[in-house]
Chain A
Amino acid sequence: MQTLSVSRTVRLVAIFLALFLSFGVIAAGPAQAADDVSKSEKLNADQLKRLAGLPADQRDKIRDRLNQELGKSACADMLFFGAMGGSNCENVAAKAFGTFLTTPEEVLDYDTKQTVPFCAALPGAGAPDTATAWCAGGAAFQKFLPIAGVVMRTAISAMPGGQVVLGTVDTVAFIANAKNGFEDFANTVKAEGVKSTNEVLNNLLKVSEFVVDDGFRATWALFAGIGVIVMGLMYFKLWKDVSNEEIDMESVRDSLFWYGPLSVILVLFGPPIGYVINGWMSGITEGITFWTSSRVTDFGVAISRFASYESSGAFGPLAAVVLFGLLFFSAWAMLGLLALQPLALYLLGLGIAIVVGFMIHPKYRKRVGKIASLWLGISLSKPLLLLIMGAVFSYIASRPAFVGEGVEDGMVNATSVFLAAAAMCVLVFALPMLYKFVPILPSSSTSLGEGRQSVAGPAMVAGAGAAISSAIHQKRTAQVQSGQNRGRSLSGGGAASMGPSSMSTHSEGQSGSGIGSNGSGISGRRSAASRVPNEPGSSSGQDRQGSQSPGQGQPETRTIGELQKADRAGTGGAKAAQALKTGAGAVGRGSVKVAAGGATAFLLAGREAARQASMRGQRSARSMAPDTDHISGR
């Protein structure tokens, strides 16, 4: 219960932080946009995407309207106006433009210096001969402006769908002639809810992106410096642990010759590697964005319909405050989630810089992997969120209340507001829920879903991770066995020489637990080992158990007297090792049995069994150890 309340607090804090930060992000946007509205302002990339996503008839109307503007601009030239002979100038000119500017994008992109196609189109549009002569005669516009800035905004916003393109919404009052404060409040909540949802939708796809730039590199350098100091401390810790015989020379060799240089390389080239990976992710995101943006446009059309909702029947002020309030909240939360992603990537990246030194110590190595995989997971979360977003929004936009002219029923409209708000809420919590129910990452690294029973999780992990983990386990097992063999062949069963081999069992079990979940433990390795198909001399589970027993079985078959003798001959450390090894042996026996049976079962079952066996094994190891002490008579 303690952990539950803690994680709930953490979640609340995270949500508040997300909201808080997103306010800053959004406030900066419009402030900047206000300066951009100038005479030469063009549609930005998002607006163009939304324009491309409009229905064909709305696009045609916008195109015609813009051509009309071009005609107006052309006819502002007094000489051309004179040549056109009067008041129908604008319409004829617009018609002429329409013959070669067939999409709104073409109209907006039209370079007003390119007057030749216009002149060629004039006769067909019914312009008088004087106009044709004016054009052909080498006369030219002295003043002719492209469609941009305020003119463009006014023209587009007057057309259906235009407000969606521009990202502006005019809301009508929910309750006309509000009589009291609460009805006023309902009006405000509705206006704010629709407006901010619209604004958020327009900004969703352009919230800041994580970039590995010079600033990040400089900060990384600083943190990596600390990381190198940490690495130095880790070396001390490594040698201390070796001298205390807590880890064996095998892992030390790995640490010194493999992970040591690797971590230095990572310190040096972390930013480039991050840059490359981030580039891939941006590519993925970019690829998904276009698909999503057209879905967001559909949804934006739906949201802009909310603007015209008015109070009717049960859909009164209270319902409006609650539903539009929910809409408001979820819109901001969604934006906050997207805005937090780059921050998380930035901080985690620096975190990696600090802990990269941990890689040289076998006990702490898995922490680096956890942070790194969390970093990868978060950078993957954006494309994932965009995908889900597209799916959810296209569902919403196809609801009856949003198709065609909509419905007049107040309740249907109310539920549609709720549906939209709920959909965005789902999106906000979709990723955390994914982490909970599909813990691709070690559950402890997200703090969400930690210590909970999860049904889908083990299945997913077993399915996706089985291949990798079994490969790793196989390698580990091979190392352990080679270590044991060498230990035996060197000393011929001497008690002191038991140390390294039993130690290796212990430490490998520890580091192996980092792969699947926290629970796999020693027996996880054992069961995986028993699943290794190409192990020499094994064709079935039972055979494998048999083939392993000469190596593992030896300590278990010894009598108490033998144990005592070995005990007395050995050092204290060796004694402890002895006890552990005995325990491990028992664990191995139990888990091998379980796993041998489960080898033919699903990987899911295998993993569950391994976890169970591991817990049992740990219990038995704990219970065995005091027994040995007791027997030794101290």
Chain B
Amino acid sequence: MRKHWKLLTALGAVILVIAVAVVLLNPPAPAAKQDEPSSLQASGKFGFPVSGIKIGEGGTKTASDGKTITGYNGSCDSAAQAAANYTPLVKDVNVSTWAQQKKALLEVGKQGPWVERATFNGDLMANAKDLPPGAFDGGWYTRSDVAAGGLYRIASCDEKKKAVVQIFSGGTTAVVNKAPSAFFQTVTLELAWMGDWKISDFAIVQSGQDFNGRVKDAGPTSLGTTFDDETAPALKDELVNDFFADVSREGWVEYANAKR
């Protein structure tokens, strides 16, 4: 033993070095790729499935404003269409047409505390005095463009009873003392079946909240993103990744006629 200590030490050192080298030369395999296609057919440009329903269709009648479509058949698809078609009513703010819009909104909505929220901005702008310049195209403060967002998520749906739908919409908003600017936002609507789909609750859910447990998350928003455009631009991969950075992509579906 004493005689061969050198040999043994050398052997030990070699084994140690090889062990260390094997560990060093084999970096951990790169993390498995995340973007696996979901079970749904992910055929959209940004990996979302595309449904057959279109914005601006699905109903048989129009409301008193002459453009909001009503008269749905009560299916969950029709709820998604109704939500998209009702979105301008809760989002748009134009002082010149506000009274008409408010009337139409009450036609497609069921009375409740949400009405005050949905009409808050419109009432505020319509009644405000001495607002700084910023309104665009003759009285517009917010103009939605649902097709520019073009995504919906059915949080829950019971045919001909109740549905909670989130709509990802684009739009243009007025900026104080400056030219208007594009934005994207998620509108959450609760629809109740009263012979037709009627709005029974509405919110623009803030980050971290969940509409009293009725939605998974607030949905994507463009807050924090600067746009050079005045109208909602065509979505790009980096924008979508940005919007969905901290919210789930699960459940979002594209309308067939979304702007892409």
Judge whether B117 and A138 touch: CB under 8 Å: yes
A220–B256 alpha-carbon span in the complex (Å): 57
Judge whether B124 and A272 touch: CB under 8 Å: no
Task: Pick the contact of B17: A39, A115, A145, A269 (CB < 8 A).
Answer: A269
Judge whether B206 and A79 touch: CB under 8 Å: no
Judge whether A146 and B185 touch: CB under 8 Å: no
Q: Given A75-B176, A143-B181, A143-B183, A82–B226 Cβ distance below 8 Å?
A: no
Q: Given A112-B224, A272-B20, A272-B25, A138–B204 Cβ distance below 8 Å?
A: yes
How distant is A473 from chain B, measured CB to nearest CB, in Å?
18
Task: Pick the contact of B224: A79, A134, A144 (CB < 8 A).
Answer: A144
Report if A634 contacts B (CB, 8 A).
no
Q: Which of the segments B34-42, B81-89, B127-135 contacts the partner chain?
A: B127-135
How distant is A105 from chain B, measured CB to nearest CB, in Å?
17
Task: Pick the contact of A139: B121, B173, B208 (CB < 8 A).
Answer: B121
Report if A631 contacts B (CB, 8 A).
no
Q: Given A115-B207, A116-B209, A269-B21, A142–B171 Cβ distance below 8 Å?
A: yes
Report if B191 contacts A (CB, 8 A).
no
Contacts of B134 in A (CB 8 A): 78
How distant is B111 from chain A, measured CB to nearest CB, in Å?
16
Contacts of B224 in A (CB 8 A): 111-113, 144-146
A233–B201 alpha-carbon span in the complex (Å): 87
Per-residue A-contact encoding for B38-56, CB less than 8 Å = 1, 0 else: 0000000000000000000
Task: Pick the contact of B173: A40, A134, A143 (CB < 8 A).
Answer: A143
> Which residue in chain A gives the minimum CB-CB distance to B9?
A258
Per-residue B-contact encoding for A66-91, CB less than 8 Å = 1, 0 else: 00000000011111011100100000
Judge whether B208 and A79 touch: CB under 8 Å: no
> Which residue in chain A gives the minimum CB-CB distance to B228?
A39
How distant is B7 from chain A, measured CB to nearest CB, in Å?
8
Report if A140 contacts B (CB, 8 A).
yes
Judge whether A142 and B183 touch: CB under 8 Å: yes
> Which residue in chain A gives the minimum CB-CB distance to B127?
A82
Report if B205 contacts A (CB, 8 A).
yes
Report if A275 contacts B (CB, 8 A).
yes
Contacts of B93 in A (CB 8 A): 79
Interface centre among A39, A40, A140 (most CB of B within 10 A): A140
> Which residue in chain B gives the minimum CB-CB distance to A118?
B206
Judge whether B125 and A134 touch: CB under 8 Å: no
Report if A601 contacts B (CB, 8 A).
no
Report if A130 contacts B (CB, 8 A).
yes
How distant is B242 from chain A, measured CB to nearest CB, in Å?
10
- CB proximity to B under 8 Å, residues A99-150: 111-116, 119, 130, 133-134, 137-146
Size bracket, chain A contacts: 35 or more
A114–B207 alpha-carbon span in the complex (Å): 6
> Which residue in chain B gives the minimum CB-CB distance to A80?
B176
Judge whether A276 and B132 touch: CB under 8 Å: no
A317–B174 alpha-carbon span in the complex (Å): 56
Report if B8 contacts A (CB, 8 A).
no
How distant is B121 from chain A, measured CB to nearest CB, in Å?
5
A557–B17 alpha-carbon span in the complex (Å): 51
Per-residue A-contact encoding for B45-69, CB less than 8 Å = 1, 0 else: 0000000000000000000000000
Judge whether A265 and B24 touch: CB under 8 Å: no
Judge whether A145 and B226 touch: CB under 8 Å: yes
A39–B128 alpha-carbon span in the complex (Å): 33
A75–B204 alpha-carbon span in the complex (Å): 19
How distant is A268 from chain B, measured CB to nearest CB, in Å?
7
- CB proximity to B under 8 Å, residues A595-625: none
Contacts of B176 in A (CB 8 A): 75-78, 81
A262–B120 alpha-carbon span in the complex (Å): 80
Judge whether B206 and A130 touch: CB under 8 Å: no
Report if B157 contacts A (CB, 8 A).
no
How distant is B90 from chain A, measured CB to nearest CB, in Å?
10
Judge whether A79 and B125 touch: CB under 8 Å: yes
How distant is B186 from chain A, measured CB to nearest CB, in Å?
10
Q: Given A138-B202, A142-B173, A269-B17, A275–B24 Cβ distance below 8 Å?
A: yes
Report if B2 contacts A (CB, 8 A).
no
Report if A400 contacts B (CB, 8 A).
no
A142–B172 alpha-carbon span in the complex (Å): 9
Task: Pick the contact of A119: B21, B206, B221 (CB < 8 A).
Answer: B206
A77–B173 alpha-carbon span in the complex (Å): 8
Judge whether A140 and B21 touch: CB under 8 Å: no
Contacts of B121 in A (CB 8 A): 79, 82, 134, 139
Report if A261 contacts B (CB, 8 A).
yes
A288–B113 alpha-carbon span in the complex (Å): 59
Task: Pick the contact of B131: A78, A130, A138 (CB < 8 A).
Answer: A78
How distant is B159 from chain A, measured CB to nearest CB, in Å?
27
A40–B239 alpha-carbon span in the complex (Å): 13
Contacts of B33 in A (CB 8 A): none
- CB proximity to B under 8 Å, residues A38-60: 39-40
Contacts of A262 in B (CB 8 A): 10, 13
- CB proximity to B under 8 Å, residues A255-296: 257-258, 261-262, 265, 268-269, 272, 275-276
Judge whether B24 and A276 touch: CB under 8 Å: yes
Task: Pick the contact of A78: B7, B114, B175 (CB < 8 A).
Answer: B175
Per-residue A-contact encoding for B5-25, CB less than 8 Å = 1, 0 else: 011001001100110110011
How distant is B194 from chain A, measured CB to nearest CB, in Å?
22
Judge whether A82 and B125 touch: CB under 8 Å: yes
Contacts of B246 in A (CB 8 A): 113
Judge whether A272 and B181 touch: CB under 8 Å: no
A258–B12 alpha-carbon span in the complex (Å): 12
Report if B142 contacts A (CB, 8 A).
yes
Contacts of A146 in B (CB 8 A): 224
Judge whether B120 and A116 touch: CB under 8 Å: no
Judge whether A141 and B17 touch: CB under 8 Å: no
Judge whether B125 and A76 touch: CB under 8 Å: no
- CB proximity to A under 8 Å, residues B191-221: 202-209, 218, 221
Judge whether A116 and B173 touch: CB under 8 Å: no
Judge whether A258 and B171 touch: CB under 8 Å: no
Interface centre among A86, A113, A269 (most CB of B within 10 A): A113
Contacts of A130 in B (CB 8 A): 124
Per-residue A-contact encoding for B215-246, CB less than 8 Å = 1, 0 else: 00010010111100000000000000000001
> Which residue in chain A gives the minimum CB-CB distance to B136?
A78
Q: Given A113-B221, A272-B20, A79–B181 Cβ distance below 8 Å?
A: no
A115–B207 alpha-carbon span in the complex (Å): 7
Task: Pick the contact of A79: B124, B209, B221 (CB < 8 A).
Answer: B124
Task: Pick the contact of A140: B171, B174, B206 (CB < 8 A).
Answer: B206
A119–B208 alpha-carbon span in the complex (Å): 13
How distant is A136 from chain B, measured CB to nearest CB, in Å?
9
How distant is A74 from chain B, measured CB to nearest CB, in Å?
10
How distant is A128 from chain B, measured CB to nearest CB, in Å?
11
Task: Pick the contact of B21: A40, A82, A272 (CB < 8 A).
Answer: A272
Q: Given A76-B178, A258-B6, A139–B223 Cβ distance below 8 Å?
A: no
CB within 8 Å of B: which residues of A? 39-40, 75-79, 81-83, 86, 111-116, 119, 130, 133-134, 137-146, 257-258, 261-262, 265, 268-269, 272, 275-276
> 13 extra interchain contacts, Cβ-Cβ under 8 A, other than A79-B121, A116-B206, A265-B14?
A77-B176, A78-B132, A86-B130, A112-B224, A115-B206, A115-B207, A138-B205, A139-B117, A140-B223, A146-B224, A257-B10, A269-B21, A272-B20
7 A-B contact pairs sorted by A residue (CB < 8 Å): A81-B176, A82-B121, A112-B223, A116-B208, A138-B203, A140-B206, A258-B6
Which 7 pairs between the two chains have the least Cβ-Cβ distance? A138-B203, A78-B174, A137-B117, A272-B24, A113-B207, A142-B173, A112-B224
